[in-house]
Structure 1
Amino acid sequence: MNNNTLAQPAKAQLPYLSRIQTHDPDEHAHRLSGWRLSYDQLSHGRFEGELDEFRSDKIQMVRDRSNQAMKKKGAAAEGTIAFCVPLKRHDNVYCSGHQISEPYVMVAHSDNMPELKVPEIVDILLVAIDQGSLQHTLECQGSNFRITDFPKCYPTGGTPAWHELKWLITELAGASPGGDELQQKTIRSDISDTVIMHLIDLITSDETLSLKPTARKHTVDRACEYAMSHLNEPFSILDLCNSIGASRRKLQYCFQNALGINAVAYLRALRLNSVRRELRESNTTQAIQAVAERWGFWHMGRFSADYHSMFGERPSKTLGR
């Protein structure tokens, strides 16, 4: 399967973001579009479940919540690598007969999903990424990680990537299904890229501590050169990492040590400046959201706060100057 298989909203008329409630484990399993799953309820009581699904050209992401202990087995969307990330601590989780007693992220090929036994009250993030696309990203970033030994569980230990991923999912829950913000390809791509980067951070080791100062400065210079040459078009941290051959963790480490600012903040500042330039050439308040979304700011409350913090005024005050 290629990326086009994941990008089905236009063909199958599926929304980019959907939310459903379920009252039966079989219904719950069958509503995960593209997955072939079987759920057996193991605890007593009425089943209640919720599924929040986000789709883009690059990923399928589902927040899966339910209230009964279950045995789960099956397959993810064909040709993908599937990630299972608990968004809260779950005791008594068993993966292929082995108890998992610490926070983890499970990774598997779509056709080699391990059998899971989950307890009552679970909150889990499921992400399917096209295998070829993920491998290409790892190769572009010069990672030694190879997609060969799945399924496997990796400890998360409450890492920054896990907290940032959980924050993103919580923020996405505030978006309106079928809302205008997700109609922007730039925003869908930005969300997808952010999720992919956080997942890569969770499963790859830290290779930055051995970098010499000259190597760190060289990485920063290349990143700045790329950013400055693409100011007239939206781009993400993932685009930047792939172009200069560095992981997100390495990029953050280099920026922090060479400039005293993290790479995400640097990129956000460049995008905010680009929004400001466009607003100065416009004189309609309707332009604010459209311009912000075009530059990848999909959460308008946070955008407005970031803009005011950066420039000392609201976006509406910048219009037409």
Structure 2
Amino acid sequence: MSNAQHSSSVAIANTLLNAPSRQLFASHDVEETRSMVGRVMKPHDLGVLGRSQRLDARMHHISLGDVALSRLRYGADVEIRPGPLEDFFLVQMPLVGHARIESGTEYVDSGPELASVISPTETTAMRWGADSDQLMVRIARPLLERTLAAQLGHPLVAPLRFQLGFRWRDCAAWRCLMAYLLECSTQDAELTHHKLIATQMEQMVIATLLSMHGHNYSDVQPARRSAILPKHVRRVQEYLQAHAHEPVSAEQLAQLAGVSLRSLYAGFKEFSGVSPMQYLRDLRLDRARADLLGAGDVGNVAGVALRWGFTHLGRFSADYKARFNESPSQSLRRA
């Protein structure tokens, strides 16, 4: 990764995660720091290495539902012993500084070019240097494993385990996703309160991590299931029509149809001409139009877009105009 890209990544985190409204705590006290970090992660042992050192800890935090972003520094050499994480996966990306991460039988010397992906079943111990300042993504284990099982078309026969070392700066999709999530979360303080948007963000994180970073199921092929039939397509369509206002994932739809995710997409496109998620997007555009043309107290275009899960107002307006041959504001004026 170039120096310019590195500087850009740090600048994004500096600007977006250092906002006072996102600061969870700042402390020089070991017990207070351990307790506050434990609330977001899990209870753990924390010790300062060296009598002459003093903590200068600070943590910023953004919750996106089953995915959460944090930025943490200790300001001193510390040892952290959480044991197995148990119910979540943790991606740790040093912006500056270094840390040694031991997880199960693996270890990495993590720095700005090498992140760590800690799996919940592995006993973990870490040493962070005083200069270590890390961006972290916490992902709920049930959601991640459920998504993988749906992609494969069968239950997992063993716990999901990722490779510990992750060259995240070399992965453009992951790097861009981090910038996008931070920007979205900071531009609108209420953004993550919209269930549809939070669910979309969760799905992007999970799908990107599963596809871009190695794990013990990377080489496992999806199960061969019977082809999706027109009745399955109708069942999915009816479900989407009834639940367009709720968070919906492709994995849920595959379970509903009783086929693998790959079969769902192939069959749905064959019988409907679009993917199931495009069908859902079109449904939500239709519902947004109904809101804009409906009662006068509907609010503004941005509010309607967020209500139906559209985070990018410019893209929403372009898609809306392509579908209805008029802009959202023109529809609102006709209400």
User: How far apart are the structure 2 equivalents of 1:268 and 1:318?
Assistant: 18
Q: Deviations 1:207-249 (Å, cap 9, x if unpaired)?
A: 67999xx98xx699977973575134324344345545545xx
Question: How far has the Cα of 1:305 moved from its partner?
Answer: 6.0
User: How far apart are the structure 2 equivalents of 1:75 and 1:275?
Assistant: 46
Does the 8 Å contact 1:37/1:72 carry over to 2? no
Task: From 110, 115, 119, give the equivalent of 1:108.
Answer: 119
**Structure having the larger proportion of residues in helix:** 2
Task: From 204, 226, 250, give the equivalent of 1:194.
Answer: 204
Gaps of at least 5 residues in structure 1 are 1-16
Q: Deviations 1:170-223 (Å, cap 9, x if unpaired)?
A: 13431555x3x4444333333333333334334452667999xx98xx699977
Aligned residues: 293
Task: From 11, 21, 24, give the equivalent of 1:20.
Answer: 24
Task: Confirm or deny that 1:86 pairs with 2:98.
Answer: no
Task: Confirm or deny that 1:51 pairs with 2:60.
Answer: yes
Task: From 36, 44, 49, give the equivalent of 1:31.
Answer: 36
Task: Confirm or deny that 1:230 pairs with 2:230.
Answer: no
Question: How far has the Cα of 1:36 moved from its partner?
Answer: 1.1
User: How far apart are the structure 1 equivalents of 2:230 and 2:205?
Assistant: 23
1:295-310 matches, cutoff 5 A? 295-298=308-311, 303-304=316-317, 307=320
Deviates more, 1:299-308 or 1:93-102: 299-308
Match of 1:279 in 2: 292
- Which is higher, the Rg of structure 1 or of structure 2? 2
Match of 1:125 in 2: 136
Match of 2:148 in 1: 138
Gaps of at least 5 residues in structure 2 are 1-20
Deviates more, 1:228-237 or 1:37-46: 37-46
Match of 2:307 in 1: 294
- Structure 2 counterpart of 1:165, which letter? L
Match of 1:163 in 2: 175
User: What secondary structure is seen at the aligned counterpart in 1 of 2:24?
Assistant: strand
Does the 8 Å contact 1:25/1:41 carry over to 2? no
Does the 8 Å contact 1:71/1:115 carry over to 2? no
User: How far apart are the structure 1 equivalents of 2:327 and 2:308?
Assistant: 17
User: How far apart are the structure 2 equivalents of 1:69 and 1:252?
Assistant: 51
Structure 1 residues 19, 241: closer, same or farther in 2, change over 3 A? farther
1:236-275 matches, cutoff 5 A? 236-238=248-250, 239-243=252-256, 245-246=259-260, 267-275=280-288
Structure 1 residues 205, 293: closer, same or farther in 2, change over 3 A? same
User: What secondary structure is seen at the aligned counterpart in 2 of 1:297?
Assistant: coil
User: How far apart are the structure 2 equivalents of 1:78 and 1:54?
Assistant: 18
Question: Could you state the TM-score of these two structures normalised by the residue count of structure 2?
Answer: 0.63
User: How far apart are the structure 2 equivalents of 1:305 and 1:155?
Assistant: 36
Question: How far has the Cα of 1:125 moved from its partner?
Answer: 1.7
User: How far apart are the structure 1 equivalents of 2:78 and 2:220?
Assistant: 37
Match of 1:11 in 2: none
| Cα RMSD, aligned residues only | 4.8
Question: How far has the Cα of 1:315 moved from its partner?
Answer: 1.9
Match of 2:330 in 1: 317
Does the 8 Å contact 2:320/2:327 carry over to 1? yes
Does the 8 Å contact 1:73/1:113 carry over to 2? no
- Structure 2 counterpart of 1:276, which letter? R
Question: Could you state the TM-score of these two structures normalised by the residue count of structure 1?
Answer: 0.65
Task: Confirm or deny that 1:73 pairs with 2:76.
Answer: no
Question: How far has the Cα of 1:286 moved from its partner?
Answer: 0.6
